[in-house]
A and B are shown apart, each in its own frame.
Chain A
Amino acid sequence: MRAAVALAALAVVSVARADALDELLRGFATHRTGHAAFTEVHEFALLKRPLRSSGELRYRSPDYLEKRTLQPRPETLVLKDGTLLAERGRHRRVLELAAHPELVPYIESIRATLAGDRAALERYFVVDVSGDASAWTLRLRPRPGPIGRSVQEVRLSGAAAAIREVDIRLKDGDRSRLEIGPDLPP
């Protein structure tokens, strides 16, 4: 009997969690566009000191994401309809996201959250929500398979319908952090 109560309580908790995720994603779904500055820090074992870069992020619902790096060297990365276009100097690369599952944690974590696309999030990750609307954290652990070949987990955190940090932890202990903000005029 006690066990049953405990189970029921657990169920209530997970329902509450699920609701929290729904609520969080609903907030994102109402925002169709976004434009913000970013700073990125790579902390790799082979580096003496972290690599830093900065630039602007642009988003348009549901699947256009642009990351324009301005410092230290200009580079543009555009996600559109599942295709990734990278331009650096004269180099231009087109990647199909579907053909490169290792890139999914870097891209879909952000895109699916911004789009409020719970189905996509749960297709690729085991999702945990914590905190409240003023300071929430999404912990995304890649599901088994090539998606999680190098990524241990992705932690997104923010306030209300805004991501403020994307923390990507790799299996080899390396780490990349993307700090987002402040918002820029559209």
Chain B
Amino acid sequence: MSNPAARAAALWGLAVLLLLAIALRANFRTDLSAFLPRAPSAAQRLLVGQLQSGPAGRLIVAAIRGGGPTGRAAASIALARALRGGADFTSVENGDEESLARDREFLLRERYLLSPDVSPGRFQAAGLRAALEASLDTLAAPEGVLVKDLFARDPTGEFLGLLERASGTQPPREQAGAWSSHDGREALLLLQTRAPGADTDAQQRAIEAVQRAFAQVRTTTAQGAQLSLLLSGPPVFATEARALIRSEVKRLSALSAVLIALLLLSLYRSPLALLLTFVPVASGALAGVAAVALGFGTVHALTLGFGVTLIGESVDYSIYLFVQGEGAGMHLWDTLRLGVLTSIAGFAALLPSSFGGLAQLGLYSIAGLIAAALVTRYVLTAWRPRTLRLRDLRALGRVLLKWHSRRRGVPALLMVLALAEAALLWVQRGHLFSADLAALSPISLAAQDTDARVRADLGAPDVRYLVVVSAASAEAALEGAARLAAHLDPLVSAGTIGGYETPSRYLPPQQVQAARRASLPEPAALRTALHAALETLPVRAEALEPFVRDVAQARGAPLLTRADLEGTGFGALVEGLLHRDAHGAQALLPVSARGAADLTPEALAALHGVVAAAPGATLLDLKGETDRLYGGYLRQAVELSLAGAVAILALLLVALRSARRVARVLLPLALAVMGVAALQALRGEPLGILHIVGMLLIVAVASNYALFFDRARAHPVEADLERTVASVVVANLATVIGFGVLAFARVPVLAQLGATVAPGALLALLFAALLSGDLRSDDAHAD
């Protein structure tokens, strides 16, 4: 083991094996978890809980297209039957007669326990008279034929009242026995997955189950061959986003690797050197994943996406080594060490971020850069074959230096440009940052629009306002929900809010059910009251004997429990709206606005008033809370980036021991960052979190350029200088290629990063070169 190359190989191999073992066991996620706070407030915890396991995150809308209405409806019914038989969904609704009849049967059977109108007064003469008069009106109407058979059993109209409340403001359109879109071109199904929204793997299995079942339906139903299936909803978006991120990361890292390989091959003319160049890159990426897996428990797929960015920086290290050659010696390592430390100082600022994705990116980059630098320093130098003959890039350096010497007057121009940038940013300061989290979503606007449309057609719009009633037990939460519902009803009647849903509607608290049951009179008393009520009404008392029988039966029936709801559409609803966890239980009451998606400020204030008066209740504005959360992240990203910049400044002051040199290193970086911000402002695009992170990356990557120019000034050795300049230019090209490719990603976070760093790195090199002063005393020397 005396051979240093072999020793390096052995050590490196061991390290790689260890890291691989860690990375392969890592749990990869693609849900919203990367965007969620690590130390949430109470309201944020509710929000996170809702996003991760709430009913909204478990809804899939399936739209069947093509063929005719009957073919679509038949396929919808067959698909629903197949999915109800499986274990992936807690509820499959498509408006088919079978399940509608089952739900109606449940409401009819349990009407005296469920109806909020049931009270002792309801069954005395006056109450009966009022209820019967209303029912007679319905009977006389043309749709009376639909309820005529029920009149004798339910003359007080409890069932119809329940049906009306249950179907909400606007039930979906029906075609040939199944729900359809308003335009009648799609059959629609509403599916609720059993798995929580955060479990992307399970969601993907559920989606595949739907696709398999539909493939089966296509072959077994008439017109099946003409039909196609469109799935939408948060679970679909989460899995699509994961697939998209994966494929984009693969595609783009392959593309940038190929482009950088071509660039390096044309310069090195040595496949071996090229191969070696990628050793630190791959090692760094692996170390990054392993570090995140160890530090966070899970690795977000987006973090892998950022791995592409690491290619851009870590490839530079081997470029510096190979291009500057052995002659560079210790100077190279001194400069590189400072460059790596600078980058670490920048990324370390991200570690305390409460935005999980940013913290992961910070740790990933730090571990990756350290690994890449170490491998370059100790493995690559040992492996670099003695026979390796790189193309001498000094000629390139000479040409570049000659251009550099003709830059007179440019620095002054640059200062003017910098002032212009600063002025532009000042003018635009109100619109620089975007507080919209949706800008980060990898789901296309078209897909989001489709989702909004089918949900509106189904009467299941995206939930924005949610009242959460927390209590010690499920029963207590239901009691709280029922009390709150009593205060929400007046808001609905007054038209302040459009409506609301509550689990207590289908599973009233036991004490409420008991009170309703106790208000049902004995048959003799009921008959007496009926006789009195019917004196002025045109109904024959004998005809209402079925009513007396039903009431008598309801008096002896047991109270409803959760198990009684199983198999009905209401069971799934309660399942979604009533949660139990370690802290107790929560009842959820989604509140919808009237007509529009958002409540008016007055309506919101009224709602706030009702909720504030209810113990244990919190009003959650999901969109508002998410926006606030993102706004907080954005502010924090800016603050942390500034802290990173200060750390870098302190580090350079210590290392270079000269304010002048530090200024010379940092000025081009600052100008480049401002330039990118100005470009973004000129394009009319506000800066998001990833732009801010991108700026930090600019500083991390480009600090190397500035440091090399600084060293070239401090230690002017002619042969080195040419190589140094060449290496910096090649490294910069590699970086611009790496990030430039990323700018074309279909995942907005990656695209933002690429679009910031690629031009930023280029600008930083230009500024660093132009502001470096004279690199050699004799300009004519090169000729």
Contacts and interface: CB of A to CB of B under 8 A. Distances in A.
Contacts of B540: 46-48
Interface residues of B, number: 26
B543 A45 contact: yes
A43 B538 CA distance: 11
Interface stretch (A91-99, A117-125, A128-136, A153-161): A91-99
A67 B142 contact: yes
B141 A77 contact: yes
A174 B540 CA distance: 14
Interface string B137-163: 111111111101101100000000000
A152 interface: no
| Overall SS of chain A's interface | strand
Given A46-B543, A96-B174, A98-B175, A51 B139 contact: yes
A96 B184 CA distance: 12
B139 A106 contact: no
Interface string B151-184: 1100000000000100000100111100000000
Contacts of A75: 137, 141
B151 A102 contact: no
B173 A96 contact: yes
Interface in B184-223: none
B512 interface: no
Interface in A139-180: 150-151, 170, 174
Most chain A CB within a 10 A radius of its CB, from B141, B164, B173: B141
Interface in A59-91: 67, 69, 73, 75, 77, 84, 86, 88, 91
B539 interface: yes
A40 B544 CA distance: 24
B136 interface: yes
Interface string A41-63: 01011111111010000000000
A51 B170 contact: no
B147 to A, nearest CB: 11
Interface residues of A, number: 35
A111 B139 CA distance: 22
Nearest to B138: A88
A44 B142 contact: no
A77 B140 contact: no
B458 to A, nearest CB: 15
Interface of A: 40, 42, 44-51, 53, 67, 69, 73, 75, 77, 84, 86, 88, 91, 93-96, 98-100, 102-103, 106-107, 150-151, 170, 174
* Leading 9 A-B pairs by shortest Cβ distance: A46-B543, A99-B174, A49-B538, A47-B538, A48-B538, A106-B142, A51-B140, A48-B540, A102-B145
Interface of B: 136-146, 148-149, 151-152, 164, 170, 173-176, 538-540, 543-544
Given A42-B139, A46-B152, A46-B540, 12 more contacts: A44-B148, A46-B151, A46-B544, A47-B543, A51-B136, A73-B137, A94-B170, A96-B175, A98-B174, A99-B175, A151-B145, A174-B148
